[in-house]
Structure 1
Amino acid sequence: MDICNGRADGHMQTDMFQPDLQGLNLLPSDGELNDFGRVFYGREADISLHRLLRDVPWQANTALVNGQVIKSGRQLAWYADDKFRYTHSGLLREAIVWELPILELIKNRVERVTGATFNSCVLNLYHNGSQGMGWHSDREAVGAHSLIASVSVGATRKFALRHKISGEKRALLLEHGQLIVMRGTTQQHWLHALMRTQQTLGPRISLTFRLFPAHEDWS
């Protein structure tokens, strides 16, 4: 597995890649992953983490397994332009209409940096290194909705990808204030995961922006 470490100047510290990361695809084939480095710095990133921890109405991540609702330690929230709805893991989800100033500020920064427009943001809160997310792909991010922008604030965590057929892997460390973008056919061909660790780490929040296909049925 190749691991690429981010630097505070927004460039990745590695012998494998060139400095112009925004235009550089970190995947070998069948998709595109771009690293924009840290787009929030120092106190700005600290304030973002603090206000999201304090102000987001976090809910337990739940799934319906064998007729029973199972909760995990990870917490989440979903914001969007409208009260979009879809069914995930057997349970109906409904978005909260944008209302947090800090979230609007982060969204505006991401849209300015990426040149894309988003109508939805899923926030995941990992309280410590023992909490992560297993291998998956985002089924709603296909076709015209394939661009996903993800901001990390809080503890540095390893983000990994694995090709669905070849099993080839890539990974990078996501730092406080860092932005990555997955686009194109990445979700069709690659799985991704947030790796767990036994290291003592503080909380980490991921903010995943996308254009949610509200006119389609994802139940």
Structure 2
Amino acid sequence: MQQLTLFDLNDNPPPVEYIPNFLTPDEANELFHHCLILSWQQNNITLMGKTMPVPHLECIYGDAGCDYLYSKSVLLKPLPWTTELLRLRCKIELQTGYQFNIVIANRYRTGLDSIGWHADNEPSMGVSPAIASVTLGATRKFQLRPNRGGKPIDFWLEHGSLLLMKPGCQQEWVHQVPKTSKPIGERINLTFRPHVNGNQS
């Protein structure tokens, strides 16, 4: 079985592990085309009393009853797993040893689509969750930094790669996908997460 490889970072490395070729090129291409026809939507988010569109498209699939509320303003209700997403979940669970009940998909159509600094620490995921992130399409910069501040660490997540944010990452670190003015292709990110209401069998 292919082993997860750690980023080689000397100073305070984040608790993440990475597989650059988790999917073969054919698997990644087929999954990317499948994801293009998912039920994408652009939700509104309320931050500091102001309501605005989320700066990317998103959707959620998963186990029944695993609703996901984030930023106290966006409620996502999972659609039933597609065959392709369920197959990918099983592959990730076998590789990582963690169980997941939902997948939240983010679609970055251009370099202007983004997500700001945040931690995925919603109570519905339980205490100290692991989150597995699969990248499809264009390579985009992904940044992590300690939540107490400090210099960001830049990663370039490739088509077909898997990034595992291990337990503790959401409590001690924040992450973002920043905007870029450079011409760049479309990226789809699939983030597999646990849920306290999920089937743990």
Q: Displacement of 1:166 after TM fit? A: 4.5
Matched, 1:62 2:49: no
Q: Displacement of 1:66 after TM fit? A: 6.9
Aligned-partner Cα distance in 2 for 1:23–1:71: 36
Change (3 A) 1:48 1:167: same
Aligned-partner Cα distance in 1 for 2:47–2:100: 31
Q: Displacement of 1:65 after TM fit? A: 4.8
SS of the aligned residue for 2:85 comes to helix
Change (3 A) 1:187 1:145: closer
Q: Of the candidates 129, 137, 156, which is equivalent to residue 119 of structure 2?
A: 137
Comparing 85-94 and 23-32, the one that deviates more: 23-32
Residue 197 of structure 1: aligned partner:
180
Aligned-partner Cα distance in 2 for 1:72–1:181: 24
Please give the per-residue CA displacement for 1:117-175, whole angstroms capped at 9, x wherever unaligned: 11111100010111111111111277644211000001001111111224132111001
Matched, 1:127 2:109: yes
Aligned-partner Cα distance in 1 for 2:145–2:128: 21
Question: Contact 1:160 / 1:170 at 8 angstroms: preserved in 2?
Answer: yes
What does 1:1-219 align with in structure 2 at a 5 Å threshold?
22-24=4-6, 28-29=11-12, 31-54=14-37, 56-65=38-47, 69-91=51-73, 93-140=75-122, 144-214=127-197
Aligned-partner Cα distance in 1 for 2:48–2:176: 24
Aligned-partner Cα distance in 1 for 2:95–2:72: 35
Based on CA coordinates, which of the two structures has the bigger radius of gyration?
A: 1
Please give the per-residue CA displacement for 1:178-216, whole angstroms capped at 9, x wherever unaligned: 00111122112111111221221121111001112238x
**Structure 1 residues without counterparts, runs of 5 or longer:** 1-9, 11-19
> How many pairs align?
195
Aligned-partner Cα distance in 2 for 1:25–1:173: 11
Higher strand proportion: 1
Question: Contact 1:80 / 1:120 at 8 angstroms: preserved in 2?
Answer: yes
Question: Contact 2:134 / 2:163 at 8 angstroms: preserved in 1?
Answer: yes
SS of the aligned residue for 1:43 comes to helix
Q: Report the AA paired with residue 84 of structure 1.
A: C
Question: Contact 1:26 / 1:33 at 8 angstroms: preserved in 2?
Answer: no
Q: Report the AA paired with residue 130 of structure 2.
A: L
Please give the per-residue CA displacement for 1:14-58, whole angstroms capped at 9, x wherever unaligned: xxxxxx7x253656437411112221122221111111102x110
Aligned-partner Cα distance in 2 for 1:199–1:59: 25
Question: Contact 1:150 / 1:181 at 8 angstroms: preserved in 2?
Answer: yes
**Structure 2 residues without counterparts, runs of 5 or longer:** none
SS of the aligned residue for 2:113 comes to coil
Change (3 A) 1:193 1:50: same
Question: Contact 1:30 / 1:185 at 8 angstroms: preserved in 2?
Answer: no
